[in-house]
């Protein structure tokens, strides 16, 4: 990686005679050391130009889009950064099989399932997503579902150094819109679904949908897109990209699901001549597993070993996680969109022999339009709905709950304190009931104003009941 500054800058159209040996490249001022190249980008909350003096004081060499004494100027810093990274670090994406998973719901589950399957087939792998960076048995926290370009670069380089060749990534709409994918190129890109979410950021569903579709631009030349054929909102992708599409679903597809049986203890289904049994619940997970099976088939793995591997897959924490206690059955799920909540509760009503009790909140400073939708769904599809707090951030949780409570039935209780809401649900439930704790999944904190208060739904339930799961 020993490259002279003038060699690198020539790649982005800058002529100079600086023979400094560059020691690294970044757009994060905190990473800069002596003789590093720093590319100044305009982010959502920070402008790289604000850190130019700091970078230069550290001995960094600056590339920016605006005239600045002692700096090099380019018209497109983002494109320049991608070119520089690929040359200096020898195109790290090309040395890896990178699988991107995007969609409103199911990203975390699909990445987890894929990771478990690759591990079963003896392939070490990395997962980057909502639950952090999972690498060789360790988990490193991240601030975003899809981390910054520089974080991904460091992960890729470390994976290559360790001889790991497969990476699963959750791909968020924010990352796509903000250009965070940068140099990353996908071998496979899975689309699970696109339903209403993040309209506080995207403003319209159309913008959200087409931002998701832009992920296709980051495919490698021979990359493939895997689509859920049963999701109408994904079918437009067939017009945007006419080749390299693999479909899965109940409808006629490349990987067609049939003979589905959904139970309270698991599910079964067929794909072609293969029969699959799983402990995972709901049609959502049948689709998630079908996406994984489609991916492995696209990589040339068609054997009956897939059936055995799928039978051993476990749900990731907080994703349709079943907590069986002596007198209670509790489902903990991340469902935080109207579509995800509706599908969760519809399935619960199919398999529950008792009553459905749902504990639910909506996040503050996020899409407000979905609040009344989720309140109505919870009220309509539950025996009792308990509205509570969920990462209220800078908003008043009482006001959020008020917005959730428009046009609900008289089966709604309000307990702002989430612990009290869960305790109440336990107190009114019977052994045949299912208690659904929705919205937070495996999150380890509650966000109130600017504070992150340590908290986890499952941990609280186990502490409250003083029980171990059956």
- What's the mean pLDDT in 425-440? 97
- Confidence category of residue 199, pLDDT binned at 50, 70, 90: low
Q: Which domains are seen in the chain, by residue range?
A: 3-88 (3.40.1390.10), 92-311 (3.40.1190.10), 321-465 (3.90.190.20)
Residue in 338, 295, 355, 344 with CA at minimum distance from that of residue 315: 344
- Confidence category of residue 196, pLDDT binned at 50, 70, 90: confident
User: Would you state the pLDDT for residue 208?
Assistant: 84
**Least confident residue range of 42-46, 119-123, 193-197, 290-294:** 42-46
**pLDDT beyond 90 at 209:** no
Residue in 207, 217, 241 with CA at minimum distance from that of residue 227: 241
User: Would you state the pLDDT for residue 46?
Assistant: 79
Q: What's the chain's average pLDDT? A: 93
Q: What is the pLDDT of residues 244-293, one digit of tens each?
A: 999 999 999 999 999 999 999 999 999 999 999 999 999 999 999 999 99
Calpha distance 462→323 (Å, rounded): 9
Higher pLDDT, 266 or 304: 266
Calpha distance 145→400 (Å, rounded): 24
User: Would you state the pLDDT for residue 1?
Assistant: 65
Q: Please check whether residue 333 is in contact with residue 285, taking contact to mean a CB–CB distance below 8 angstroms.
A: no
DSSP classification of residue 452: E
- What's the mean pLDDT in 412-425? 98
Q: What is the pLDDT of residues 398-418, one digit of tens each?
A: 999 999 999 899 999 999 999
Q: Is 331 helix (H, G, I), strand (E, B) or coil?
A: strand
Look at strands 434-438 and 329-333 and give their pairing. Answer: parallel
The model's pTM is: 0.91
Q: Is 277 helix (H, G, I), strand (E, B) or coil?
A: strand
Q: What is the pLDDT of residues 217-230, one digit of tens each?
A: 999 999 999 999 99
- What's the mean pLDDT in 324-338? 95
Calpha distance 213→194 (Å, rounded): 10
Q: Please check whether residue 255 is in contact with residue 217, taking contact to mean a CB–CB distance below 8 angstroms.
A: no
């Amino acid at each position: 990686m020993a490259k002279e500054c003038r060699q690198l800058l020539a790649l982005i159209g800058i002529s100079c005679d600086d023979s400094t040996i560059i020691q690294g490249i970044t757009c994060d001022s905190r990473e800069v050391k002596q003789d590093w190249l720093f590319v100044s980008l305009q982010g959502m909350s920070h402008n790289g130009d604000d850190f130019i003096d700091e970078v230069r004081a550290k001995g960094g060499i600056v590339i920016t889009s605006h005239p600045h004494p002692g700096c090099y100027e380019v018209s497109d810093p983002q494109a320049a950064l991608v070119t520089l990274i690929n040359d200096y670090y020898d195109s790290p994406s090309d040395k890896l099989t990178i699988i991107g998973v995007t969609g409103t719901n199911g990203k975390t589950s699909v990445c987890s399932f894929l990771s478990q399957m690759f591990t079963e087939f003896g392939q070490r792998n990395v997962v980057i997503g909502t639950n952090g960076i999972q690498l060789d048995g360790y988990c490193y926290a991240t601030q975003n579902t899809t981390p910054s370009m520089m974080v991904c670069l460091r992960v890729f380089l470390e994976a290559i150094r360790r001889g790991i060749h497969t990476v699963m990534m959750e791909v968020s709409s924010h990352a796509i819109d903000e250009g965070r994918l940068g140099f990353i190129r996908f071998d496979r890109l899975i689309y699970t679904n696109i339903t209403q979410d993040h309209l506080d950021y995207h403003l319209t569903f159309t913008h959200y949908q087409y931002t998701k579709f832009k992920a296709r631009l980051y495919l490698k030349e021979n990359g493939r897109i895997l689509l859920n054929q049963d999701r109408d909102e994904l079918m437009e992708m067939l017009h945007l990209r006419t080749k390299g599409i693999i479909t899965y679903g109940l409808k006629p597809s490349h990987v067609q699901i049939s003979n589905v049986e959904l139970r309270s203890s698991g599910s079964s289904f067929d794909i072609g001549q293969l029969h699959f049994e799983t402990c995972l619940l709901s049609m959502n997970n049948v689709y998630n597993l079908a996406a994984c099976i489609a991916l492995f088939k696209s990589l040339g793995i068609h054997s009956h070993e897939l059936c055995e591997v799928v039978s051993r897959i476990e749900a990731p924490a907080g994703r349709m996680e079943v907590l069986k206690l002596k007198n209670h059955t509790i489902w903990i799920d991340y469902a935080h969109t109207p579509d995800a909540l509706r599908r969760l509760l519809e399935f619960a009503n199919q398999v529950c022999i008792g009553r459905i009790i749902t504990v639910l909140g909506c996040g503050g400073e996020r899409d407000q339009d979905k609040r009344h939708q989720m309140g109505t769904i919870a009220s309509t599809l539950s025996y009792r709905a308990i509205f509570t707090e969920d990462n209220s951030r800078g908003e008043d949780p009482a006001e959020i709950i008020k917005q959730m409570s428009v046009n609900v039935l008289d089966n709604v209780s309000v307990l702002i304190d989430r612990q009290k809401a869960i305790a109440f649900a336990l107190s009114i439930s019977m052994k045949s009931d299912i208690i659904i704790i929705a919205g937070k999944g495996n999150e380890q904190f509650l966000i109130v104003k600017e504070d992150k208060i340590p908290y986890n739904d499952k941990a609280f339930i186990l502490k409250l009941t003083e029980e171990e799961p059956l």
